[in-house]
A and B are shown apart, each in its own frame.
Chain A
Amino acid sequence: MKRVAITGFGIVSPIGIGRQEFWNALTQGMSGIAPISLFDARSFQVQLAGEIKTHPDLPQKAASAAREDRKVGFAYLACAQSMEQAGLTSFDEGTLLHLGTSLETFDLEKVIIDGKPDFKAVATRNLNNGPALQVPLDTAARLLADAFGRPGRSLTNCSACAAGTQAIGHSFQAVRSGRFRKAVCGGFDSMLNPLGVGGFQLLGALTTDNARGSSACRPFDSERQGTVLGEGAAIFVLEPLEEAASAGKDILAEILGYASTFDAHSLSAPDPEGSGAIRAMSGALSDAGISAEQIMHVNAHGTGTLLNDQTEAHAVRHVLGKHWERVPVSATKSMTGHLIAAAGAVETGACLLPIVRGILPPNPSLERVGTGCELNHVRNPGERFLGGYVLKNSFGFGGQNASLVMRKCDG
């Protein structure tokens, strides 16, 4: 079994593009949540999101793909950053490409022909002109293969909010076992379009407390009302640690354990006992060969919804046992919003802040801890990380759970 290092990290997030900008924003507790500007959401109950406000230039093919589906552009940018940091220029047959994403982009405008919805006319007019209505989820994987060469295997993971963490965890296991020499993995997503925001509004998962503005996403707070959607991408390069060290590469962190589970309880609500979450965390600790008392930091899924946060807090306390009061817990969706399939990847990037810089990301919108949400929350920017193992949680719609364990590389 090989030890596995993160040697590249690229990120496009509502609080910064590129790892330094992202980590600086996290260090300061800066929120990227603001009124939606991508479309007119004034008549929607939900009017806030974590948008990408600036867009670096993209090569022509990536720019063209991003015009059809903006999340594809985020994936390209994050991938290019991570490859550059890892000193890679191309994929090869030993490369696993594994990306998480969630919902196909449907362009509602294109269903309208001559002032009315007309599916038949769409079928008629566009039959020989390429796809009209939807963008498949493997579009980014195809774009990246075009840009960086064909990987040995390309996987598009659609495990909703757990997809990014699953992609990283599965890739970690594939490199650890020697099935692949390296992996390029992570998540990308954007639901910031009328159908995406509207669909989640209908589910009742999003806060309508628009007056809260940048602090509307309030993980573990007593006044939390729901989550806020965000968009972006985070992509990592994973390589065998010894080979990366021999090559003199900058090693950001070592991944040591991973597990995934199902709740098998409900499509939208977590198991109130948190058994799936507990098994995911315990499984990741077991996979890493460590005990709960060795965990020194938790990056929570922390959505700001009533049910998730209470269940997660219960599950974290259960897993950490008597140590829970001393383990600092961050909830970075308070700043980025919920990036759905990219959330786990972006938050894995947030876990690198304490590992690389020794600073814990805060939960700046937390004012008063909600009932049942008691944990050692990181409230203030700049709190120091004492070192040790870091646990990352992701829990998805449909009841999918995934947890990762990582730490600073000890050489």
Chain B
Amino acid sequence: MPAEVVVTGIGMVTPLGATAAESAKAWEEGLFASCSPLPELAGTPLESSPTARLPAMDPAQRLSGSRRMLKYMSGAAVLGCVAAREALAEAAVKERFPSDRVGLYAGTGLAAASVDEVHEMVAQSIGDDGRLSCDLLGKRGLSATNPLLSFKILANMPPCLISILEGIRGPNLIFTPWEGQTAAAILEAWQAVSSGKADCALAGAADTAAHPSTFVYLRQAGLLRQEEFPASAAAYLVFERADAAVKAQRRIHARIIDARLFPAKEGIVDPLSARMGRTFAAAPAILCGLACLSKQSKISISGVDAQTFEMEFAPA
């Protein structure tokens, strides 16, 4: 018989707050994200388009003890690692579970390469005809490129960095790039704990939709309506068996009653979008986190990949 699963840790970095508690408080108070245009897009048709601003946060401080890894991290990896650490710390996962019994089930958003890094590579590789020269790329462009670029654009790197920083060694799945993929990861995490495949699972996602290149892509692809604005964010939740949480006297945010992922009947429905912005892959995890903290009983979201995710919670 499947075991009852509860949420004992929540971590978030959203435009509404640099922690889960701050985000939930602002959400409950009905606040809106602060927005501003991206300076990188000045002089383009997007120069006055708003994007959500993240609250001030010092990654080196939030990831103390792991500072040397920051150079390997994309923006999404930083946000994901910060949110994951907050969730894991709240649930005291390191102290309570063997590392190989902790699973990691994650979503990741579109890759967002640094425009500056790509710019220099390409600038060094333009031939006399004004086009990309593979000859010059091999001779000059690559040596002008940060050798760590691949680590920043491979889609599995943000969750892998979480596993390295936090010592998570258990079963794992990483899906990309839209809301339904993170929803599937959350569903898998719930089932992994419920079935006993893992004692504990970290589930969530990070997405940097407000990165200039991602914002441009989203507008070009018609995935952001005129009235919508993109937001970068991350959220992770810790799932464990109810009996383990009770025995360890952990704070239980919510019990998971049910979760479903099925083909959407209508278009995109993102309850966060009006106040927080579109956070794409991160949105299902943020919604779950806010629901747990705000004692909501149900969430529902339909994303770009035309799948609807519903999850039901009960108070602890």
Contacts and interface: CB of A to CB of B under 8 A. Distances in A.
Interface in B64-120: 72, 99-100, 104, 108, 110-111, 113, 115, 118-119
Given A202-B145, A399-B164, A127 B46 contact: yes
Interface string A86-98: 0000000100000
Contacts of A264: 99, 163-164, 166-169
A43 to B, nearest CB: 3
A76 B217 CA distance: 24
Given A116-B123, A116-B126, A399-B160, A279 B155 contact: no
Nearest to A43: B138
B139 interface: yes
Contacts of B161: 267, 398
B237 to A, nearest CB: 18
A108 B169 contact: no
Interface string A162-180: 0100100010000000000
Contact of A202 (B40, B147, B163, B164): B147
Contact of B305 (A39, A115, A154, A170): A154
Given A267-B151, A279-B169, A397-B156, A108 B110 contact: no
Nearest to B122: A117
A130 B221 contact: yes
A266 to B, nearest CB: 7
Interface residues of A, number: 75
B134 A137 contact: no
Interface string A263-303: 11111100000011001000000000000000000000000
Contacts of A111: 118-119, 122
A138 B178 CA distance: 9
B104 A155 contact: no
Interface stretch (A19-27, A53-61, A118-126): A118-126
Contacts of B138: 41-45, 198
A158 B164 contact: no
A153 interface: yes
Given A102-B155, A264-B168, A156 B41 contact: no
Contacts of B121: 108
A384 B33 CA distance: 65
A344 to B, nearest CB: 13
Given A123-B216, A198-B137, A265 B126 contact: no
A155 B106 CA distance: 12
B273 interface: no
Interface in A7-45: 39-45
Contacts, number: 226
B169 A127 contact: no
B157 interface: yes
Interface in B127-178: 130-132, 134-139, 141-142, 145, 147, 149-151, 153-157, 159-161, 163-164, 166-178
Contacts of A394: none
B111 A104 contact: yes
Contacts of A150: 263
Given A108-B132, A202-B142, A267-B72, A103 B164 contact: no
A362 interface: no
Contacts of B51: none
A396 interface: yes
A170 B132 CA distance: 41
Contacts of B34: none
B261 interface: yes
A194 B126 CA distance: 13
B213 interface: yes
B30 interface: no
A119 B126 contact: no
15 contacts: A103-B150, A104-B111, A108-B118, A119-B40, A119-B212, A130-B221, A131-B220, A138-B305, A158-B175, A198-B142, A199-B149, A202-B150, A260-B173, A267-B161, A398-B154
Interface of B: 40-46, 72, 99-100, 104, 108, 110-111, 113, 115, 118-119, 121-123, 125-126, 130-132, 134-139, 141-142, 145, 147, 149-151, 153-157, 159-161, 163-164, 166-178, 180-181, 184, 188, 212-213, 216-217, 219-221, 261-263, 305, 307
Given A45-B138, A399-B160, 20 more contacts: A43-B138, A102-B156, A104-B153, A106-B118, A120-B42, A123-B44, A124-B45, A127-B45, A129-B220, A131-B221, A133-B216, A133-B217, A134-B213, A138-B178, A155-B175, A156-B177, A170-B188, A198-B141, A203-B147, A266-B164
